[in-house]
Amino acid sequence: MDKKKIIGAVLTFVVAALLIIVGLSKKVSGTPLEVYQVYLDGKKMGLIASKDELLNLIDKEQSSIKEEYGVDKVYPPNGLDIEKIYTYNTNLSNVNEIYNNIKDSEKFTVEGYDVTITYNEDKVINDGETIKAEDREAQHIYILNRDILEPALYNTAAAFIGTENLKNFENNTQAEITDTGDIITSVYFAETITIKKALISTDKTILENVEELSQYLLYGSINQHNTYTISEGENLQSIADKNSLNIEELLIANPNYKTKDVLLTAGAKVNVDLINPLLDVTYRKEAVSDIEVAYKQDVVTDSSKYVDYSEVTTKGENGITRVTQDIKYVNGVIQDLKIIQSDVLKAPVNEVVTKGTKKIGSWIDYNPTYTADGSYAWPTLSPFIITSRFEYRWGTFHKGIDISGTGYGSPILSIADGEVYKTGYGSNEGNYIVIKHSDTLYSQYMHLSKIQCSVGQHVTKGQRIGSMGSTGFSTGTHLHLGIWLNAPPYQPGSSVVDPCRSVFRC
């Protein structure tokens, strides 16, 4: 490169640099101001000379918040940031003007605690109604005093377990099981509960005492209860039915009533709110009970007797089996049950019915659609426990009964002769079977570990059709049995009935 060109370029660069330096020296001459830039939700609100002046003004002017919450200090909104800066800008805002703008835009805060409930387990309400843990949004509860949390958690557990039972468990003073009875073996919350100090916005629900927090944990709100006025002759069961509640739910909502058989006073009010607990109170029991084992019916034929002849020739007697159970409850509902020991105290004696087969002229066979006379086979082995009945639970109706206790893989039996109408797998039902017993009677078996029959197959009363399991949305090993009339389950014209009041007495 030409030597003159290089020298010219260097001179040009030096001159430019000098001009920049001179310009900068003119721009920064003097002393910059120390001021505070106020932001609200990231938006500039203005410059002020004193941060403390604004904070003191907020605390002074919001005396109504202090009175409402019983606090000594009020703080800015959570979206307010005040940053110290240095500037030559002398155009400062009036602190009162900034305060008024904040007051009209956001709610102020008070010092309290953020209680976070994180869900770790799926929530099963009824068969086919389950919320996955990952879909259960964490709950934030805001309180002023952290000392109210522990007693409120205790009250929530006691609502489902019973205050006396919980105290006996806590103090290790439960009565030992002699022949029959039960003891609580563990109590815990299934969720992760954390608490941290925070500035709580006054537009949140802020709970101030144990009673409010206990109600919030049980109902999900602190709104006034819905009540029902008792009429003459009513009982708690009839009131529960009228308000789409399970009797246990009604007792939890009305802790002053200890049992469902308590005498009621006409004109008194009962809380009929549907509880919506934010926590899953989980506890396990060891229970020993004597279970009546129903006798079976054997039919023998006598060709010398006419077809209209039927006589009980051996009277049936129920047996008794003593069973030891490990039961898991969640919010007062059995979620899993295992029979860990069973001892036969008295074997059942089967009933023997003698029926005639001799015909007179023309005879029309009579086949009733359904009865409760013992002519249907129980769908599981014995001993068994009915863990959930045909009733309301958490605002929805359980369309059948749940039977537990015979163990994973134990036989599932057809309740009567019929034809396998449908089998399959559903995300709610798990492995399921539907059997058509007549044009007006269908039985439904859900949550099976195995299906051991096929569509179109003729099955007989008591024949094994599958194995007990916990497939689909299920809380534990059990059979869901449904009885449907007039049409297959969930089809137009079908109606579901209580298995314990239609084909069985249970």
pLDDT digits (tens, 9 = 90+) for 40-82: 999 999 999 999 999 999 999 999 999 999 999 999 999 999 9
pLDDT band at 430 (very low <50, low <70, confident <90, very high): very high
**Token pair listed for 218:** 């049980």
The domain in which residue 143 lies consists of 117-271
Contacts of 311 (CB under 8 A, 6+ apart): 353, 354
Question: What is the mean predicted confidence (pLDDT) over 15-32?
Answer: 48
Instruction: Summarize pLDDT for 491-500 with one digit per residue, the tens.
Output: 999 999 999 9
Q: Does position 3 have pLDDT exceeding 50, yes or no?
A: no
| Residue 496 tokens, joined | 């579901």
Instruction: Note the helical H segments in 182-272.
Output: 210-219, 236-242, 247-253
Is residue 66 a part of any domain in this protein?
yes
Task: Tell me the per-residue pLDDT of 390-408, one tens digit each, with 9 for 90 and over.
Answer: 988 777 888 999 999 888 9
Token pair, residue 35, equals 């001021």
* 12 in the same domain as 37: no
CA distance 200 to 188: 28
Whether 148 is in a domain gets the answer yes
Is there a single domain that holds both residue 91 and residue 51? yes
- The predicted structure's pLDDT at residue 25: 40
Beta strands 479-485 and 411-413 are unpaired
Strands 206-207 and 139-143: parallel
H or E segment to which residue 314 belongs: strand 310-314
Kindly state whether residues 77 and 152 are assigned to the same domain.
Answer: no
Top mean pLDDT of 4-8, 103-107, 355-359, 374-378 is at 103-107
> Does 485 map to a domain?
yes
- 241 and 152 inside one domain: yes
What is the mean predicted confidence (pLDDT) over 103-129?
84
Within this chain, do residues 122 and 206 fall inside the same structural domain, yes or no? yes
Nearest to 169 by CA among 181, 187, 150: 187
**Which range, of 116-130, 187-201, 406-420, 426-440, averages the lowest pLDDT?**
116-130
In a domain, 101, yes or no: yes
Residue 304 pLDDT level (bands cut at 50, 70, 90): confident
Backbone angles phi, psi at 370, to 5 degrees: -160, 145
Closest CA to 32 of 75, 86, 84: 86
Look at residue 6 in the predicted model and tell me its pLDDT.
Answer: 43
- The verdict on 202 and 99 lying in the same domain is no
Tell me which of 60-64, 141-145, 304-308 is least confident. Answer: 304-308
Q: How far, in Å, CA of 87 to CA of 343, rounded?
A: 88
Note whether 387 and 419 are same-domain residues.
yes
Kindly state whether residue 300 falls inside one of the protein's structural domains: no
Q: For residues 489, 494, 498 and 500, what is the CA-based torsion angle, rounded to 10 degrees?
A: -80
The pLDDT of residue 237 is above 70:
yes
Q: Do 148 and 249 belong to one domain?
A: yes
Between these two residues, 283 and 308, which has the higher pLDDT value? 283
d(CA 345, CA 326): 20
The gap between the terminal CA atoms of the chain, to the nearest Å, is 108
> Does residue 317 lie in a domain region?
no
Residue 319 placed within a domain: no
How many independent structural domains does the chain possess?
4
Helix segments in 193-332, DSSP class H: 210-219, 236-242, 247-253
418 found inside a domain: yes
Give the residue, 30 or 458, on which the prediction is more confident.
Answer: 458
Which of 243, 271, 299 is where one domain is finished?
271
Q: Count the helices and strands in the chain (H runs, E runs).
A: 9, 31
- Grade residue 16 by pLDDT with cuts at 50, 70 and 90: very low
- 305-328 mean pLDDT: 89
Mean confidence (pLDDT) of the chain: 87
77 plus 163 within the same structural domain: no
